């Protein structure tokens, strides 16, 4: 194992020297780009003459053509689109060209160049173009589809619909319908805006709908509930049944269900069944029969019923449902692990439970690793290197899009580099996609290697999927904070997949996805200058993130499970969960109320175990210190269960 790791280390050192080599002509490219920015077009042309073979020449040409839009170089633009088709430089130019034509109100030309896009601004400009070219039917149909999306729209759409309002195209009914669509999407600001545009009669209707949305339980008791449209009633019923699935039984014959079509009724049954499987273990048999009689017993629903039995620790129910579960679904490691666990809890012999643990332990995942620990055997890694013919590797390296991606990567322009990489990836067969993953790893671009293999569901090359990125930084952080290096790696792998510029919708940033407020607090404790811009710097991010992990580990008395959960959900939530439950460790993880956090903890434990293997030693998924720390939280009679995790199952 040690020699294998050393070999990999040497391989990465060799690769790093080539990865850092700049694409030839980068200085000339930057000079030409600066001439364009300063509008020194004569000097730009002279500089560009030397760059026709440079990978990034299309980007310079794109920017040059933008300066020439007013001269109508249609043939040049057409030639560019023809040469680069749907590659990123052409996509970028088309977007700018269409925006220019829209500003100039050259609508026929706009429509001739328009291509289907997810860009809402361009979609709204297309509707405007259809209007202006007397294609009213298509304009109204497409415009209404955009309007009724129930989300806030860009300025180009605001201008379009302001015109619709002036010309009477926006009826009160359309405004009311958009508000209804916005409610389940939590577009509160949009809802308030739309209510201001309603007349008194529609506003009164809107307030009733909003009341039911905020108080969904009242749909069964308020008389005016029956006056609501089937769409509104379905929307509210779907919401209430997620929290109170029992209402489907107690109000089965209620008039509020009248007028709903069969598809809506079936959808409500599914909602209630999924919720009941997880929330109502006491009458789960009744729900199971409902699912069977309505032919709704999908694989997903079977999973929910089994999960409900696990979280309620109803082991007779679990073993009963397990027998009823379809093959090969029951062969999944999760259900095999819990069948072994259920049998053990029911007092079955080791001979009876062991086969289920053994089946689970064949797999490289959370439940496989947990089963391995139960059996006292090493976790199965099942590593299989990715092999691609040299000819395919050579072809991939010569792809123009890859040359552009690497040139952009050299310049630190990560987002457009990623865009180019993905555009090439989308055009490849499986061998080509695997070659791209290998190439990304060689260039020390770990997030592309990870994402490439994930997109083709290729899971077995642990060297590519779990790279030792920024190894010296993680090593320093582990030693300084006295925490396991493989744990920090597991956190970073789950948080960002080593995408150093990763930014979540709520603002978490960098390799270890630090919230700015948290990072500011940590930097103050460390007496390190805080910089929000530096959160995308791996060194700074790992320094702060590892210190935060250390503080959480200390706060939770060395309990790595709780510290991991707190890193995701916050220490306050973890403390509340502990007050409600301190049972066996594997059960506690299953009972984490936030599904995101439950999966997060399981993945970090799994990834940490894999990283212990990658670093040359193989730890069990739960180390002795974690088990001991957990045991201190439990009542005396429960300590035996988790203590047994330390012991090999010799039966």
Three-state DSSP class for residue 151: coil
CA–CA distance, 466 with 480 (Å, rounded to integer): 23
DSSP for residue 534: G
Give the 3-state secondary structure percentages of the chain, helix then strand then coil, rounded to 5.
Answer: 70, 0, 30
Q: Is 347 exposed, middle or buried (0-12, 13-18, 19+ CB in 10 A)?
A: exposed
Q: Which structure tokens are listed for 140?
A: 């109204």
DSSP for residue 511: T
CA–CA distance, 344 with 352 (Å, rounded to integer): 8
Rounded to the nearest angstrom, the gap between the alpha carbon of residue 483 and the centroid of all alpha carbons in its chain is 27
Three-state DSSP class for residue 503: strand
- Residue identified by tokens 């089937």 is 230
CA–CA distance, 435 with 394 (Å, rounded to integer): 9
CA–CA distance, 373 with 609 (Å, rounded to integer): 12
Q: Which structure tokens are listed for 234?
A: 């379905």
CA–CA distance, 501 with 303 (Å, rounded to integer): 36
- 122-129 contacts at long range (C-beta below 8 A, 24 or more positions apart): 122/95, 122/98, 122/156, 123/157, 124/153, 124/154, 124/156, 124/157, 124/159, 124/160, 125/98, 125/99, 125/156, 125/160, 127/160, 128/102, 128/159, 128/160, 128/163, 129/102
CA–CA distance, 355 with 353 (Å, rounded to integer): 6
Which residues are CB-contacts of 452 (< 8 A; sequence separation ≥ 6)?
425, 433, 434, 436, 437, 440
The residues pairing with 503 across neighbouring beta strands, listed in sequence order, are: 509
Q: Considering the candidates 495, 599, 636, 637, report the single residue annotated as catalytic.
A: 495
Write out 305-349 in H/E/C secondary structure: HHHHHHHCCCHHHHHHHHHHCCCCHHHCHHHHHHHHHHHHHCCCC
For 54-68, give one letter per residue: b (16+ CB within 10 A) or e.
Answer: bbbbbbbbbbbbeee
CA distances in angstroms from 53 to 67, 78, 254, listed in the order given: 22, 20, 73
CA–CA distance, 425 with 479 (Å, rounded to integer): 39
Annotation marks residue 636 as catalytic: no
Three-state DSSP class for residue 509: strand
Q: Which residues are catalytic?
A: 495
């Amino acid at each position: 194992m040690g020699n294998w790791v050393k070999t990999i280390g040497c391989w990465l050192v060799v690769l790093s020297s080539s990865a850092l080599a700049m694409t030839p002509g980068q200085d000339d490219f930057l000079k030409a780009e600066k001439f364009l920015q300063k509008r020194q077009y004569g000097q730009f042309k002279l500089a560009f003459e030397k760059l026709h073979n440079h990978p990034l020449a299309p980007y310079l040409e794109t920017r040059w053509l933008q300066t020439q839009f007013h001269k109508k170089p249609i043939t040049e633009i057409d030639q560019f689109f023809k040469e680069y088709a749907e590659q990123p430089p052409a996509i970028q130019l088309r977007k700018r060209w269409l925006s220019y034509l829209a500003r100039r109100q050259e609508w026929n030309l706009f429509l001739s160049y328009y291509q289907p896009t997810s860009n809402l601004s361009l979609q709204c400009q297309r509707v405007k173009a259809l209007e202006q070219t007397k294609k009213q039917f298509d304009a109204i149909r497409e415009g209404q589809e955009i309007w009724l999306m129930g989300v806030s729209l860009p300025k180009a759409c605001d201008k379009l619909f302001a015109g619709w309002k002036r010309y009477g195209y926006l009826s009160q009914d359309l405004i009311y319908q958009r508000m209804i669509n916005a409610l389940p999407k939590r577009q509160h600001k949009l809802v308030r805006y739309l209510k201001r545009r309603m007349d008194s009669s529609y506003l009164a209707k809107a307030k009733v709908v909003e009341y039911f949305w905020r108080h969904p339980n009242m749909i069964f008791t308020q008389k005016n509930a029956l006056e609501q449209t089937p769409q509104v009633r379905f929307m509210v019923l779907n919401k209430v049944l997620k929290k109170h699935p029992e209402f489907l039984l107690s109000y089965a014959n209620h008039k509020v269900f009248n007028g709903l079509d069969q598809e809506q009724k079936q959808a409500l049954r599914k909602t209630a069944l999924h919720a009941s499987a997880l929330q109502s273990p006491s009458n789960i048999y009744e729900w199971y029969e409902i699912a069977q009689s309505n032919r709704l017993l999908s694989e997903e629903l079977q999973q929910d019923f089994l999960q409900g039995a696990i979280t309620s620790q109803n082991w007779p129910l679990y073993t009963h449902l397990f027998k009823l579960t379809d093959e090969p679904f029951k062969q999944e490691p999760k259900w095999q692990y819990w069948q072994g666990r259920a049998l053990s809890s029911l007092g079955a012999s080791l001979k009876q439970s062991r086969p289920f643990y053994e089946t689970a332990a064949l797999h490289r995942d959370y439940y496989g690793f947990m089963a391995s620990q139960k059996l006292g055997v090493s976790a199965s890694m099942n590593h299989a290197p990715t092999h691609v013919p040299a000819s395919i590797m050579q072809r991939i390296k010569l792809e123009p899009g890859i040359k552009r991606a690497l040139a952009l990567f050299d310049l630190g322009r990560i987002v457009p580099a990623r865009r180019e990489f993905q555009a090439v990836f989308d055009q490849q067969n499986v061998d080509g996609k695997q070659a791209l993953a290998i190439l990304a790893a060689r260039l020390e671009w770990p997030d592309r290697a990870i994402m490439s293999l994930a997109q083709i569901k290729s899971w077995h090359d642990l060297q590519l999927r779990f790279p030792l990125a920024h190894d010296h930084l993680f090593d320093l952080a582990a030693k300084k904070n006295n925490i396991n290096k493989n744990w920090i790696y597991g956190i970073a792998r789950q948080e960002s997949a080593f995408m150093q510029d990763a930014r979540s919708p709520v603002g978490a940033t960098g390799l270890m996805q630090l919230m700015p407020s948290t990072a500011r607090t940590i930097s103050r404790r460390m007496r390190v200058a805080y910089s929000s811009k530096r959160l995308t710097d791996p060194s700074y991010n790992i320094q702060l993130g590892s210190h935060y992990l250390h503080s959480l580990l200390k706060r939770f008395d060395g309990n790595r499970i709780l510290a991991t959960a707190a890193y995701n959900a916050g220490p306050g939530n973890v403390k509340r969960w502990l007050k409600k439950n301190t049972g066996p460790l594997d059960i506690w993880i299953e009972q984490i109320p936030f599904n995101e956090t439950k999966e997060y903890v399981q993945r970090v434990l799994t990834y940490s175990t894999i990283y212990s293997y990658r670093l040359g030693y193989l730890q069990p998924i739960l180390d002795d210190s974690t088990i001991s720390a957990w045991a201190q939280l439990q009542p005396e009679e429960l300590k035996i269960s988790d203590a047994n995790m330390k012991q090999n199952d010799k039966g």
